[in-house]
């Protein structure tokens, strides 16, 4: 949020990053390093000698001084003294300081952020691992990405693959299933968003025996010339497996979506089918930093990758899955892993609760989905057997991350 790309909370640096940082070999991905296990005081002092313009920020525990501990007992205090003796630019950041933005922005010469300081409890160091054989054979073609500080757009960079404190192989919770349009767990949308040329209307979501049909039609309203259908969960979820059988619309100009989304800050994980070519699936991630309430909504394109499916998705139902955990995201089709991302590959993994959505909409972008021919309307897509499963450890992440969402699109346009 201060404009630095930060590698944090890992037990060691990737080999390529360490070589660039200590040996000057290659391009560094990160601008800053925080809570990296191998960057102990001796390593930090070595870095200070290699990089004369380095800034060192040292978090201190006021309780240590209150208890009268010596420098031997308090490594942070010993590091501060060593930095002072060597004339290295540094600052002390007390853990209990009332305004840490003030300390950081003043020292770094950065603008004071207009968003809350992201207070989060320190977690255990995550163990960095080499990319294994399960990453092989994944398919996908990168499209044009946004250019933002929290996107690591570096050729050949594989991201940070880590083993977190939580397992993604544990038994999942019982599924949150679709039980009909009148069930309060699911909401038919009655709004739109700027890039959508259709207004969502509840009447365009029709219940089937085990799912729903979305219809997009020419129908004028106050704000749009078309109407469409969208369904979302009433609850926001933090991590889990989000699955559905989908049959997207094969009509140019339209997009069938299955995705997770939130605003304030905007974060999103997508599966989308563009109606001009339903033999391919678009996967995407939008990330903005901060905790709940940070009004960061940057990014028009995200970080999209196009997956060749090997079949036409509009011919029949297929099974699609988004598996989202603190350390990565996996996309599966008919049980096969087709794409995955780890930390900083190329963004951090979204870390705040999001709402699960299914929809059909008309994009403004002909580049994305082609040009709509009105003679092809009305158009339909359908979804069935859609469920959400939580990881059992999500309850341990704190009540402050649980929420009920009634208006997930804070900038939505209402045509009622």
CB neighbour list of residue 226: distance below 8 Å, 6 or more residues apart: 197, 198, 199, 216, 217, 218, 219, 362, 377
Alpha helices (H) along 223-322: none
Q: What residue ranges in 313-401 does DSSP mark as E strands?
A: 318-325, 328-333, 336-342, 354-362, 379-389
The catalytically annotated residue of 235, 268, 321, 340 is 268
| Whole-number Å distance between alpha carbons of 387 and 104 | 43
The catalytically annotated residue of 219, 272, 321, 340 is 272
Task: Let me know: does 107 contact 5? Beta carbons within 8 Å.
Answer: no
In terms of phi and psi (left: phi > 0; alpha: psi -120 to 50; beta: otherwise), the region of 103 is alpha
Neighbours of 205 (CB within 10 A): 24
Q: Give residue for tokens 């341990």.
A: 396
> For this structure, is 272 an active site residue?
yes
- Cα end-to-end distance, the chain, whole Å: 37
Cα distances (Å, whole numbers) of residue 270 to 55, 326, 333, 404 = 38, 17, 14, 21
| Whole-number Å distance between alpha carbons of 338 and 306 | 11
HEC secondary structure over 117-134: CCCCCCCCCEEECCCCHH
Supply the residues annotated as catalytic. 268, 272
């Amino acid at each position: 949020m201060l404009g630095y790309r930060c590698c944090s909370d890992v037990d060691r640096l990737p080999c390529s990053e360490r070589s660039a940082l200590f040996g000057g070999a290659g391009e560094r991905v990160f601008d800053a390093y925080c809570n990296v296990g191998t960057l102990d005081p001796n390593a930090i002092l070595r870095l200070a000698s290699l990089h004369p313009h380095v800034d060192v920020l040292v978090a201190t525990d006021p309780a240590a001084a209150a208890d009268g501990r010596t420098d031997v007992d308090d490594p942070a205090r010993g590091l501060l003294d060593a930095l002072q003796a060597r004339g290295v630019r540094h600052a002390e950041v007390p853990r209990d300081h009332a305004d840490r933005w003030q300390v950081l922005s003043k020292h770094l010469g950065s603008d004071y952020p207009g968003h809350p300081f992201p207070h989060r409890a320190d977690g255990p160091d995550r163990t960095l691992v080499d990319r294994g054989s399960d990453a092989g054979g994944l398919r996908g073609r990168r499209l044009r990405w946004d250019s933002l500080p929290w996107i690591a757009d570096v050729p050949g960079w594989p991201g940070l693959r880590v083993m977190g404190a939580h397992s993604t192989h544990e038994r999942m919770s019982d599924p949150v299933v679709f039980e009909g349009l009148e069930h309060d767990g699911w909401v038919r949308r009655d709004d739109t968003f700027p890039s959508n040329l259709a207004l969502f209307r509840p009447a365009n979501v029709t219940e089937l025996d085990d799912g729903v049909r979305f219809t997009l039609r020419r129908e004028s309203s106050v704000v749009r010339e078309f109407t469409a259908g969208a369904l979302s969960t009433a609850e926001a979820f933090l991590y889990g497996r989000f699955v559905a059988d989908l049959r997207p619309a094969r009509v140019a100009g339209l997009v069938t979506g299955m995705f997770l989304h939130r605003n304030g800050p905007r974060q999103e994980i997508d599966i989308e089918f563009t109606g001009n070519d339903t033999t391919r699936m678009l996967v995407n991630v939008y990330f903005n930093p901060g905790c709940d309430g940070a009004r960061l909504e940057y990014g028009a394109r995200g970080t999209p990758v196009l997956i060749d499916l090997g079949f036409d998705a509009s011919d029949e139902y297929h099974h699609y899955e988004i598996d989202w955990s603190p350390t990565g995201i996996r996309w599966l089709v008919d049980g096969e892993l087709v794409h995955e991302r780890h930390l900083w590959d190329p963004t951090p993994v979204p870390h705040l609760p999001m709402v699960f959505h299914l929809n059909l909409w008309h994009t403004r972008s002909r580049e994305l989905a082609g040009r709509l021919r009105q003679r092809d309307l009305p158009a339909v897509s359908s979804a069935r057997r859609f469920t959400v499963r939580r990881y059992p450890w999500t309850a341990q992440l704190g009540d402050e991350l649980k929420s009920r969402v009634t208006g997930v699109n804070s900038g939505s346009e209402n045509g009622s």
